[in-house]
Structures are given as C-alpha cells and as structure tokens.
Structure 1
Amino acid sequence: MNTILISALGFPFLILVTYLVKSQAIRSGIVNAPNAIIPQHTKPIAYLGGVAIAINFFILVFVSWFLSNSDLLMGYSNGLSIALFMSLFLILGTYDDLRPLSALKKITVQFVFATLYIYTVPPIVITDIYWLDFSICTFWILLVINAFNFTDVMDGLVGGLSIVLFSLLAIIDTSHSVLYISLAISILAFEIFNAPPASIFLGDAGSHFLGFAAAISTLELVNQHSISGIPMMLLAVCLPLFELFFITSVRIKKGLPWWKGSPDHMALRLQHSGLNKWNTNIIIWILAALSSLACYFLINSSILTQAILTFSVFLLMLLFSRILLRWNVPDKRVTG
C-alpha cells in the first residue's frame, strides 16, 4: 500500500522523467527512422523509452526501500544480481538501438547474459536435475525477451501488456508486490507518451529490460507453486509467446528467415482488417487479461481445473491465429 501511495504522489515526477528522457533522445538524434514494414511510422520517433522506465523503476524501488526500511529487491534471493542483470539487458538493448546488432550477435550476448545470471542466481528447481533446470531457465529468459521484442511493433502495445502482467504478478505474488507495482507504475508513466500516436518508443532497451523482468518474475511462479507454476508462467506471458510462435511459423511457411522483419505481426494484421491502433491494442490487451484471469484461477486449483483452463486458453489462441490468417499485410519495402 505504501508503494501505491508513493507512486501516486510521485507520478507527476515519473512523467517528468519520461519527458526529459524523450527530449534528450530527440536532441541527441537517438530516434527511430520511418519503417516501411509499419505504414503508420512515417516520421522519426524518440528512442530510450526503456531507459525512462528503468530510471523510474529504480527510483520507486529506492524511495520505497528508504521509507519502509524493508528488503524489497532483496526479497528475491540475490536481489543485487537481479538489479545488475536488469541493467545489463537494458544496456544491451540500448546499444542495439544505437548501433543495430545482427540477430546472431544479439542472441549470443543474450545467451551469455542469461547463462551468467542463472549461474549467479541458482536456477529454479523444475526437474531436480541441475543441468536440465539450468538449461530450461536460460532458454526461458531468451524466449521471453525475444517474445517481447517481436511483439513491440505498435504504439502502446507492449507497455499495456506489461502493465497487465505485472499487475497480475502483484496480486498473486504478494511477497514481491512492491517490485511489480513499481514496474507497472513506471510503465504507465511511459504509456502516456507511447500511447497512439507515440512520441517515444520502447526500443530494444525497453523490450530487453521488460522481457528479462517478465522472464525471471514468471520463473518465480514455479518456485512458489511447484509444478502448477509451469502453466501459470505460460499463461502470464501468453500473448508475447503467441506473437513469437505465430510470426515465426508464418515466416517459415513463406520461406522467409524467422528473424528477419516482415509485416506478419498480429497487431499489423488486425490493423489491416480495418481496425485503428487503439482498437487493435484493446483487443490484444483483453486477450492478455483473459489469459491472466485464467492464470489467477490456477492457484490452488485441481490438476483437472488447471488442464481445462490452460487448454481453453490454447484453443482461444488457436482461434485467434486462424482469424489473423485472414489478412495478409503486403510488404511495402523496396527490394532489388
């Protein structure tokens, strides 16, 4: 409750920080050039939205710690390591925004960071086989980070999905609610400038920072709920995972490299159907909220109930993919 009060009173300051970061990005020429894949992106937009979120998050955590004299980040085992690797993934994403890396180089650095993190912070026990748990946790971090990265093609989209996610986690994982509330409020301050039409983008800095935070937070569900935590963590980040698998399968079917940009994202297909940005975002956020609701009801439910809820969300996503395939967005990039 103290964190909510602190965030509410300090929210204008968080907005100011975001505005200052945006202004500095524009002055420094740190902008995203128009992208032919995204038809609405017709003018340069400031980067560093992820940096603004990170600054606000760490400010809120520090102020909450200072006023409450509690462990907060240390509530996680190895909390300082978590803060360090959140910062490292933020730096990696920022570097990629400034000097774009090849897909191979980027995923290699992601792998190194994820491996070092799991080595520093012992892996969540899933199978009780150390090397297998180590591999699963490392893979999960890479999967979620890149899922967030793939999903970030629409003004306000990933920010809204992240608010849904961390709000859910604040409810079901009360031992770390201060961190999740701080993240959600920091993202909300960013959303004021990122909502359609955006004046600042999340960038790879933001997708890496939020993706890593989402990955380790959802792994914590397995730590707290044992085997039932596995479907919970899948449902918690259902929409970003859906985007990653949907667009990868579509690109492979088209004979395209899965890592190369193409206008096959769920948000762009929905827009091609005639929806505007806001309606597109709202539909995807509602699906995320439904998945989060299913995740919540998995707590202390029977195995049969867990199976029914998880399978229901799977069927919903399957139906969603069938609907999306009705619209094929033309690639307007000049080739040759």
Structure 2
Amino acid sequence: MGPVGPRPAVADVRRAVREALADLPEGSLVLAACSGGADSLALAAALAFVAPRAGLRGGLLTVDHQLQAGSAERAAEVAALGERLGLDPVEVLTVDVGGQGGPEAAARDARYAALGEAAARLGAQAVLLAHTMNDQAETVLLGLARGSGLRSLSGMASHGGPEAAEGLYRRPFLEISRKTTEAACEALDLKPWNDPHNEDPRFTRVRVRRTILPVLESELGPGVAEALARTAKLAREDADALAEWADSAYQNCALSDIAGTVTLAVPELEKLPAAVRKRVLRRAAIDAGAPSGALSATHVQALERLVTHWHGQKAVDLPGGLAAQRRYGTLILAIRPIA
C-alpha cells in the first residue's frame, strides 16, 4: 500500500495557498495574519507547508487588540505555534484601538495599520488573510442591506485592499468554506481559539453569521453562502469592467483637470450609459478635491441631473467646499466660488 496523502480539507487549503502565491518570485517573504481561529490557523499551517516547497519564506503576524483580558497571553500562544510550524519571522503586533466608526471598524483600522507597517518593515511581498467563502457571503449580505452599489456587492477581492496597500493583501480562502478550514485544523491537530467577539450579537456581522445566513439556508436550501460568494465574483468582474470603461470615458470627457478644478464636456457625458457616467462624475468630484468618503450617492445623483435634467438650476454643493455648475455645454467642478 502506497503512502497516504493529506486529508481532503488539508489538501484544499494547501492548494489554495499555493495558487495564491504562484506569481511571487523565489525568495519572497509571505506573512500569514493569524488570530488563532480555525480559518487563520489553517492558513498559517498551509503557508508553513507550501512556502519552503515553493522557494518562498513564510512568516506569521498576530495582532493583540488589547480588547479582552488575557489577549497578550493568547497572542503569545499564537506566536509560539507559528514558531513550531517553522514560520519565521513571527511577531506579535500590539495595537491601541480607537473609537472612530464603531468598535468593528476601529479594530479593523488598527489591525490593517499594524499589518501594513510590519509588512513594510520586514520587506514582505504579501500578507495572507484568512477570509473564507462564508465571510464573503456575509459581506455581500451587508452590502445588500445597505443598498450599496455593484462595487460593494463584489465583496472582498482575492488580491488587494485596503486602498493604501493595494496588492499587498491576498485572500486564498475566498472559495474555501469555514467547514473546510475547521476540518483542516482537526486533521492537523490544531486547536483553534474561538474569539468571544465572534459570538457577540452586538456586532452586525455576528448577527448575519449566526441568524440571517442560517435562516436563509433553512428557508431556501443549502448552498446560499456559495451562491452569494459566486455573486460577489461576478459582480467584481462587472465592476472592474465598468471602472475600466469609466477611466477611458473620463479621458474623453475631461477638458481640463487641474488641482481644485475639473471641467467636463456635457455632450460627451450625455452619450454615456448612466452607470458609466456616474462613475465619471464621481471621479471628477474627487479629482477636484471632494473627499471620497464624504461623497455620497446623493451628491453624484445631483451631478447627474445637471447633465440629464438640465433646466437652468443653480450650482450643486459638494463636500470639500466644492460646487458644480453647468455652463455653455460644460460641467465645471471647482472650489467655491465659481466665477
């Protein structure tokens, strides 16, 4: 009888990591972000197996958010496990979580800031994140509940994000279920730590995970998470295509684009489908100086009306002290006042 291969779940997570790193040059440093949960433990173990066989260096980062008693000890345990797996370097990143945007957003911002700083300091080419198909499904449902656009419904990208470190982060497990990562940990005799925050119904994502998705599975049948993740992938392809189209259209529409002022040709804007035109208008506002986080769909819709429902209306106020005004076949976005 020949040698027995790894359990299917272990083979699945290893294959996902191997495919995610296939484009990296030999000798590249790859870091796994590991919290100690089943998903990130499976990720760290897969990286420890794949990296040396692919000519790469594998390391581990674990973030201590200092939000629970004993967090430092748990972070130290995760780091010790990383060393036992053969990962190097291994670091504990201790962060102070603020309050801006709510506890979930504040913890996320602090975590990404720490991961990005460590990756830059260590010279890493990639940081692996353990988001699974289930996380992707939750993200799509949250986007639907907010009434978000196509980009939000496209969920998390397999490569990239947050914007400040585009391309650094990679998510190998977006087509891997949480059941698979749990099975991989069991097969490898890894003992996950279950974060109490993942059971706390005060957090919106926890309610989606523990209540909404199970109800959907019960009422609609199995496979809802897979379907939502598939929807995210299709939406991302469409959103990427529209963004590329909008970039090209912007070049055709922009008569001038200098700091504080953007001028667009209305006849060129009128030729565009609404989905592309709105993307062009949003980019124009941002290029003129509007903060992207403050620029809402309502602002973009007001700009749209200057193009498609023009009846001599006054200038539209935009975030950042900007105003948009239609004049002689052009749309001018500039810091007030428009002379």
The structure that is helix-richer by fraction is: 1
Larger proportion of strand: 2
Larger Rg: 2
TM (norm. structure 2) is: 0.30
TM-score for the superposition, normalised by structure 1 = 0.30
